[in-house]
A and B are shown apart, each in its own frame.
Chain A
Amino acid sequence: MSEQEPIIVLENVCKYFGEFKALSDVNLTVQKGERIVVCGPSGSGKSTMIRCINRLEEHDSGRIVVGGKELTSEVKDIDAVRREVGMVFQSFNLFPHLKVLGNLTLALKLVRKMPKPEARETAMRYLERVHIPEQADKYPSQLSGGQQQRVAIARALCMNPDVMLFDEPTSALDPEMISEVLDVMVELAEEGMTMICVTHEMGFARSVANNIVFMDHGEIVEANPPEEFFDNPKHERTKLFLSQIIGH
């Protein structure tokens, strides 16, 4: 895969939930190392779009290419894609019956077929990277929301993905815990991780994103670098959204 080839391509992607058109001719290109923030009102299709990228949702028409592989209904393709794409969920989705370490090593053992000691070592390394190595032997229920989300990030990072997808990672957190998670995400960005992040955290967007994508009613309305986006929004809907979100 050459440097010029984009790591993710969405071409004319449409997705329906029954009668409801969730994604309408979505076109998006993501280069390696790019950080994309996706924002928009609820129901605009942001989550649906990134969930299509790792095929948690199936798109109905159009093309999605991830890491050079096109997403089809072939199962082995999907598993291969998912290994290279990490996802962090709004509700963390940690495995409740496994300790923190177990959460991180499960996929390493099952998918990467890593032997136990190596898996453990890898897991501890990533736990340190998210600054909570001392929580390794605890169960998720014993951790705070911010800690749980950081474990979730570490869990995704353990698989050494080429791209990280974040689906509103801080929306379910109490305000005082948001920054510990955003800090980790900023560090990741600085290290060069390719990221697509659905979020309402505009401060984060402004400082980290290369490109901000605004979606509404299943369409990409506007996509611009932060300075353009915040200071010079082109569309009415974008202006409206920004005034609502930044207003208070």
Chain B
Amino acid sequence: MNFDIGLVFESIPKMLVGLGLTLELLILSSFIGLVLAVITLLMRISGRWFLVAPAVTYIYIFRGTPILVQIFVIYFGFPQFEFVRESVFWPFLREPFWCCILALSLNAGAYVSEILRGGMLGVDKGILEAASALGISKTQSFIYITSPIAIRLSLPAYSNDIISMTKATALASTVTLLDMTGVARTIVAQTFAPYEIFLSVAIIYMIMAWMIQKGFGMAEKRMSRYLKPAAG
């Protein structure tokens, strides 16, 4: 059994074409997901049952089911309904790309809102008391004190979530999209060389994950300037 290096190099340009789609999926979903996450978080902490209940339900459903199933429900399932087929969104919802974006964004929104909430819970209660004692209102306290600290606390978990999202984009290949994994599967089907092709694609994903981790590491370092240095 030989390892065909030549095939690897031939395939890399083709896979970089897929990289474009992978990045589109990642960036768009992360952004929309973040917006959804903030909205969901605010709903969750609002204290009003009619906001908390939908938020909690949404989080529960999207963290409790596999992303693949979420994609399938949207891509294969939505067309079942006439009101979907007739709606103004149909041109989007019939496209696998937008179905994936929808599924990935909803998924990200649920996870990230919990991550942000975890960050919020990590803020020292004493500091919030000091703010209250100074007469700072709850809303002002949330914006100027809780948020900056919570964001810094959320960074490690958030970076892990972004990396998970990067890997989740590979699922787009199950609904005909030619992201990196989709391209790879096509090439493997033609060449019967799973190791060479899949391994090279895996390497590209790993490099992406590494870069994301490094990027967030730097951001975290910057945001942690004000913390006590670790040395005793």
Q: Which residues of A contact B (CB under 8 A)?
A: 54, 56, 79-80, 82-83, 85-87, 89, 91, 93-99, 106-107, 110-111, 139-141, 152, 155-156, 159
Q: Does B127 contact A (CB under 8 A)?
A: yes
Q: Does the CB pair B134–A159 fall under 8 Å?
A: yes
Q: Which residues of B contact A (CB under 8 A)?
A: 124, 126-127, 129-137, 140, 144-145, 148-149, 152, 225-229
The answer for the CA separation of A97 and B148 in the assembled complex, in Å, is 8
11 A/B residue pairs, CB under 8 Å, sorted by A: A80-B135, A82-B134, A85-B133, A93-B126, A93-B127, A95-B145, A98-B226, A107-B131, A110-B136, A110-B144, A141-B229
Contacts of B226 in A (CB 8 A): 96-99, 139-141
Distance, CA A202 to CA B195, complexed state (A)? 78
Taken together as a complex, chains A and B put the C-alpha atoms of A170 and B113 apart, in Å, by: 39
Contact A93 B124 (CB under 8 A): yes
* B225 with A155: CB separation less than 8 A: no
Query: In the complex, what residues of A have CB within 8 A of residue B148's CB?
Result: 97
User: Which chain B residues border A99 with CB–CB below 8 Å?
Assistant: 226
- Bound form: Cα–Cα A85–B132 in Å: 11
- Residue in chain B with minimal CB distance to A76: B137
- The answer to whether A89 and B149 touch across the interface, beta carbons within 8 angstroms, is no
What residues of chain A lie closer than 8 Å to B134, measured between beta carbons? 82-83, 86, 106-107, 111, 155-156, 159
Nearest-CB residue, chain A, relative to B148? A97
Which chain B residues border A106 with CB–CB below 8 Å? 131, 134, 136, 144-145
Contact call A82/B133, Cβ cutoff below 8 A: yes
Cα A63 to Cα B76 in complex, Å, equals: 65
Also in contact, A93 and B130, with CB within 8 A (given A110-B144, A139-B225, A141-B226): yes
Complexed CA–CA distance, A95 and B134 (Å): 12
- Please give, as numbers and ranges, the residues of chain A lying within 8 Å of B129 by CB-CB distance: 56, 89, 93
Within the complex, the shortest CB–CB distance from A118 to chain B, in Å, comes to 17
Task: Tell me the bound Cα distance from A204 to B132 in angstroms.
Answer: 28
Asked if A96 and B127 sit within 8 Å, CB to CB, the answer is yes
